[in-house]
């Protein structure tokens, strides 16, 4: 049975995410940490009749306890985007938050799996990696940027265009990063072939890439995606939990390619080049990343172009994250 | 509101999501609907009882039910809005005055009390909360909530003191959360879970399944089946939370308890019935003194 810590549990993503994790039968202990409001959230959730024990940890003084004895830390903590903000605008605030949280995990549960939701993921995951390296506990197989929402959106948006498609069953590989044009949906490699004109492919790709902006705009100042993000985060967490139990599970996620240098070759050749991090389909096991799963077919010309564009932007995002920790 | 809908619409399940903002879109929101769930209203703050929010929430429920009656009178209606002991009678009153009342189609969601019952027994006795079922009857606030721990399945061995403490905790579980949230509201997440669980049962029932549940219902939904709970203490009350069997048309029948409650529980049902009588009357009184304009 698994102990999970949610860091940022009282926030817009944290609350529904905590609810969904409390419903997960594979969780035996749920540690909810935040800097405000978490005792109320924990009391609320602790009433749900599943077996996980819920504990609340409030404030920096309780952070170490929050991340002691845990197998998985999920980090949604941070400020949300507002209209006009890009993910990089929130960078400074969220970078500091992620650094502090990962330092505590490195100190207290260095072998824990870490799933980062806090944006900008393209930079916060490299920040996490650098922190773990500086403490001598970095394991590329145990650090994940959560990109599941892009995959979820891909399936759903295909259905919006093709109403006969079963959105829950359709799997569209999504590679690259987790913001705007670093998101590369490989629609040509969908689990069920979908026939799309070039125009439709462009529109769909754009919609998936900027799905986050769609929600930020609709929320009109009240925040960014919380509910769908919680769903995606819980889905990814569930895959990690099942993998910990020995099940073989495939999930797309943003990882350090060092987790499987052999498997990474294909993606490097397709355009990831010498990037340290890239979102790829991964087979998960009890040790985290077991291997990167090959695509099985060549992406289309349009998609290869998109990977090129993504890689350029990603290189900058990654460097921003690394520089934040290491200095110049 | 568009924000919430857009957010949720990105989830890759097959249902389509539409949003409607404001009173003028209320009837559009209800067109062609099979199940209506009403959670609208203000939340309790520390020191407030469920009755303190009464006036505001009573008027919200009345307005929404009027729209349901006008637009989708055959829908199943599940109410979350507190104080449930009064809002459900208010809903019934509105539906009656619009000539579309069917007691089999109206439900107050009390699932959170059952959930708390199972979880709180686990807190003290370590048993598997997911396997434990505790029938809960009466109403949905404080001492109107009557958990029948003697009839838990699987059976749980409890001393009298343990039972009393558990009953108290289950009855005031809501207050526990209001206090912990310190001004930030009342139970939302656990209530959402409970509401979703009950609504899922309604969805399955509308889909043709026969589903066992519990809810605060008009006892007229099954006059015959109501005999037992009346004899046990509900007496002549019009509404009471009981175990029910759901089907396509709503409540198919009230499911009898398969044993007699113990002395403590019978006493609790008496107390619950007395308070419930007042709560129900308060709902009716509100409707009588706020004659609608139609």
pLDDT tens digits along B210-239: 999 999 999 999 999 999 999 999 999 999
Q: How confident is the model at residue A37 (pLDDT cuts 50, 70, 90)?
A: very high
More confident residue, B242 or A93: B242
Q: pLDDT tens digit string along B234-269?
A: 999 999 999 999 999 999 999 999 999 999 999 999
**A186 contacts chain B (CB < 8 A):** no
What mean pLDDT, rounded, does chain A reach?
96
**B291 contacts chain A (CB < 8 A):** no
Whether B294 shows a pLDDT value over 60: the answer reads no
The catalytic residue among A31, A47, A178, A206 is: A178
Q: pLDDT tens digit string along A39-60?
A: 999 999 999 999 999 999 999 9
B-interface mutation test, from A10, A44, A82, most B Cβ less than 10 A away:
A44
- Residues in chain B, total: 294
- Give the helix/strand (H/E) hosting B205: helix B189-206
Q: What is the pLDDT of residue B49?
A: 72
Q: What is the pLDDT of residue B27?
A: 97
The Cα of B208 is separated from the nearest Cα of chain A by a number of Å equal to: 23
The Cα of A260 is separated from the nearest Cα of chain B by a number of Å equal to: 29
Q: By mean pLDDT, which of A196-210, B44-58, B263-277 is the weakest?
A: B44-58
Q: What is the pLDDT of residue B292?
A: 56
The angle that helices A301-326 and A121-134 make with each other, rounded to 10 degrees, is 50
Query: B153 to each of B94, B135, B149, B212, B265, how far by Cα in Å?
Result: 38, 9, 9, 14, 16
Whether B104 shows a pLDDT value over 80: the answer reads yes
Q: By mean pLDDT, which of A26-35, A213-222, A312-321, B227-236 is the weakest?
A: A213-222
d(CA A290, CA A55): 31
Q: Do B190 and A166 touch (CB under 8 A)?
A: no
Q: Do A23 and B118 touch (CB under 8 A)?
A: no
d(CA B121, CA B165): 10
d(CA B78, CA B280): 17
Q: What is the pLDDT of residue B51?
A: 67
**A228 contacts chain B (CB < 8 A):** yes
Per CB-CB distance under 8 Å, the chain B contacts of A234 are: none
d(CA B42, CA B34): 25
**B293 contacts chain A (CB < 8 A):** no
Nearest to B109 by CA among B182, B183, B198, B24: B198
More confident residue, A80 or B280: B280
Q: Do A40 and B180 touch (CB under 8 A)?
A: yes
A-interface mutation test, from B2, B7, B112, B132, most A Cβ less than 10 A away:
B7
Rg (CA), chain A: 19
Mean pLDDT confidence for B182-200: 95
Report whether the peptide linkage leading into residue A120 is cis, meaning its omega lies within 30 degrees of zero: yes
Nearest to A257 by CA among A328, A318, A323: A318
The Cα of A12 is separated from the nearest Cα of chain B by a number of Å equal to: 12
Per CB-CB distance under 8 Å, the chain A contacts of B18 are: none
Per CB-CB distance under 8 Å, the chain B contacts of A23 are: 193
Whether B46 shows a pLDDT value over 80: the answer reads no
d(CA B39, CA B42): 9
Nearest to A171 by CA among A159, A163, A181: A159
A–B CB contacts, 8 A cutoff, strictly below: 123
Task: State the ipTM, two decimals.
Answer: 0.93
Helix (H, G, I), strand (E, B) or coil at B252: strand
d(CA A76, CA A13): 6
d(CA A39, CA A9): 10
Whether B55 shows a pLDDT value over 90: the answer reads no
Q: In a 10 Å sphere around its CB, with 0-12 CB exposed, 13-18 middle and 19+ buried, how is residue B215 labelled?
A: buried
Mean pLDDT confidence for B191-220: 98
Nearest to B130 by CA among A125, A248, A24, A268: A24
Per CB-CB distance under 8 Å, the chain A contacts of B118 are: 49
Active centre residues of B (catalytic): 140
Q: What is the pLDDT of residue B291?
A: 63
Q: Do B14 and A25 touch (CB under 8 A)?
A: no
Q: What is the pLDDT of residue A263?
A: 98
* Secondary structure of chain A as H, E, C letters: CEEEEEECCCCCCHHHHHHHHHCCCCEEEEEEEECCCHHHHHHHHHCCCCCCEEEEEECHHHHHHHCCCCCEEEECCCCCCCCCCCHHHHHHHHHHHHHHHHHHHHHHCCCCEEEECCCCHHHHHHHHHHHHHHCCCCCHHHEEECCHHHHHHHHHHHHHHCCCCCCCCCCCCEEECCCHHHEEECHHHCCCCCCCCHHHHHHHHHHHHCHHHHHHHHHCCCCCCCHHHHHHHHHHHHHHHHHHCCCCEEEEEEEEHHHCHHHHHHHHHHHHCCCCEEEEEEEEECCEEEEECCCCCCCCHHHHHHHHHHHHHHHHHHHHHHHHHHCC
Helix (H, G, I), strand (E, B) or coil at B128: coil
Q: What is the pLDDT of residue A86?
A: 73
Q: Which residues contact B204 (CB under 8 A, 6 or more apart)?
A: B211, B246
Q: By mean pLDDT, which of A210-214, A262-266, B41-45, B213-217 is the weakest?
A: B41-45
Q: pLDDT tens digit string along B111-139?
A: 999 999 999 999 999 999 999 999 999 99
Q: pLDDT tens digit string along A151-181?
A: 999 999 999 999 999 999 999 999 999 999 9
Model's pTM, two decimal places?
Answer: 0.95
Q: What is the pLDDT of residue A83?
A: 75
Q: What is the pLDDT of residue A92?
A: 85
Residue B35, beta-bridge partner list: B76
Mean pLDDT confidence for A302-324: 97
Under a CB-based contact definition with an 8 Å cutoff, are residues A73 and A7 in contact? yes
Whether B293 shows a pLDDT value over 60: the answer reads no
**B126 contacts chain A (CB < 8 A):** no
Under a CB-based contact definition with an 8 Å cutoff, are residues A184 and A310 in contact? yes
Q: pLDDT tens digit string along A125-150?
A: 999 999 999 999 999 999 999 999 99
Measured between CB atoms, which of A15, A41, A155 is closest to B12? A155
Q: What is the pLDDT of residue A314?
A: 97
Q: In this structure, what DSSP letter does residue B238 have?
A: S
Q: What is the pLDDT of residue A89?
A: 76
Q: Do A50 and B130 touch (CB under 8 A)?
A: yes
Q: Do B4 and A227 touch (CB under 8 A)?
A: yes
Mean pLDDT confidence for A101-105: 98
Q: How confident is the model at residue A291 (pLDDT cuts 50, 70, 90)?
A: very high
A257-293: b (≥16 Cβ within 10 Å) or e: bebbeebbebbeebbbeebbbbbbbbbbbeebbbbbb
């Amino acid at each position: 049975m698994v102990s999970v810590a949610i860091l940022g549990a009282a926030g817009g993503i944290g609350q529904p995410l905590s609810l969904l994790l409390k419903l997960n039968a594979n969780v035996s202990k749920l540690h909810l940490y935040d800097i405000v409001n978490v005792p109320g959230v924990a009391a609320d959730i602790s009433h749900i009749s599943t077996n996980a024990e819920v504990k609340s940890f409030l404030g920096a003084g309780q952070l170490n306890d929050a991340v002691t004895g845990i197998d998985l830390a999920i980090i949604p903590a941070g400020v949300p985007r507002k209209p006009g903000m890009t993910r990089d605008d929130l960078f400074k605030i969220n970078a500091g938050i992620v650094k502090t949280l990962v330092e505590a995990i490195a100190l207290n549960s260095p072998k824990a799996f870490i799933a980062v939701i806090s944006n900008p993921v393209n930079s916060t995951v490299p920040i996490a990696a650098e922190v773990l390296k500086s403490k001598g506990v970095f394991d590329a197989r145990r650090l994940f940027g959560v990109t599941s929402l892009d995959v979820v959106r891909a399936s759903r948006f295909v259905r919006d265009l093709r109403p006969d498609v079963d959105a829950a069953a359709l799997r569209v590989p999504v590679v690259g990063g987790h913001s705007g044009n670093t998101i590369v949906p490989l629609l040509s490699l969908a689990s069920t072939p979908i026939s799309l004109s070039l125009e439709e492919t462009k529109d769909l790709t754009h919609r998936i890439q900027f799905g986050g902006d769609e929600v930020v705009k609709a929320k009109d100042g009240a925040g960014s995606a919380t509910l769908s993000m919680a769903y995606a985060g819980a889905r990814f967490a569930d895959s990690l939990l099942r993998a910990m139990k020995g099940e073989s599970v495939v999930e797309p996620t943003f990882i350090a390619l060092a987790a499987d240098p052999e498997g990474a070759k294909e993606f490097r050749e397709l355009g990831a080049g010498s990037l340290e991090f890239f979102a790829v389909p991964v087979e998960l096991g009890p040790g985290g990343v077991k291997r990167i799963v090959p695509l099985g077919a060549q992406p289309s010309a349009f998609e290869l172009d998109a990977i090129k564009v993504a890689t350029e932007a990603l290189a900058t995002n990654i460097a921003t994250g690394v520089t934040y920790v290491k200095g110049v | 509101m568009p924000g919430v809908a857009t957010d949720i619409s990105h989830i890759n399940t097959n249902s389509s999501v539409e949003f409607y903002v404001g009173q003028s879109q209320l009837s559009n929101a209800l067109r062609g609907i099979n199940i209506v769930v009403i959670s609208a209203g203000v939340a309790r703050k520390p020191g407030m009882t469920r009755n303190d929010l009464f006036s505001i929430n009573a008027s919200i429920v009345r307005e929404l039910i009027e729209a349901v009656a006008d637009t989708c009178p055959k829908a199943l209606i599940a109410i979350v809005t507190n104080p449930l002991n009064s809002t459900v009678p208010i809903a019934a009153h509105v539906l009656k005055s619009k000539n579309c009342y069917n007691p089999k189609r109206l439900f107050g969601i009390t699932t959170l009390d059952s959930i708390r019952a199972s979880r709180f027994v686990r807190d003290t006795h370590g048993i598997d909360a997911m396997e434990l079922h505790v029938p809960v009857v009466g109403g949905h606030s404080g001492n109107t909530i009557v958990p029948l721990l003697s009839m838990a399945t699987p059976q749980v061995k409890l001393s009298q003191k343990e039972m009393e403490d558990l009953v108290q905790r289950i009855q005031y579980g809501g207050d526990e959360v209001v206090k912990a949230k310190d001004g930030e509201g009342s139970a939302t997440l656990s209530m959402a879970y409970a509401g979703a669980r009950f609504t899922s049962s309604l969805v399955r029932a509308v889909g043709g399944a026969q589903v066992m549940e519990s809810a605060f219902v008009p006892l007229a939904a099954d006059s015959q089946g109501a005999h037992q709970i009346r004899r046990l203490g509900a007496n002549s009350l019009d509404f009471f939370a009981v175990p029910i069997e759901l089907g396509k048309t709503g409540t198919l029948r009230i499911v009898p308890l398969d044993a007699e409650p113990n002395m403590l529980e019978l006493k609790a049902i008496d107390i619950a019935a007395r308070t419930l009588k007042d709560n129900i009357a308060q709902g009716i009184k509100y409707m009588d003194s706020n004659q609608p304009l139609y």
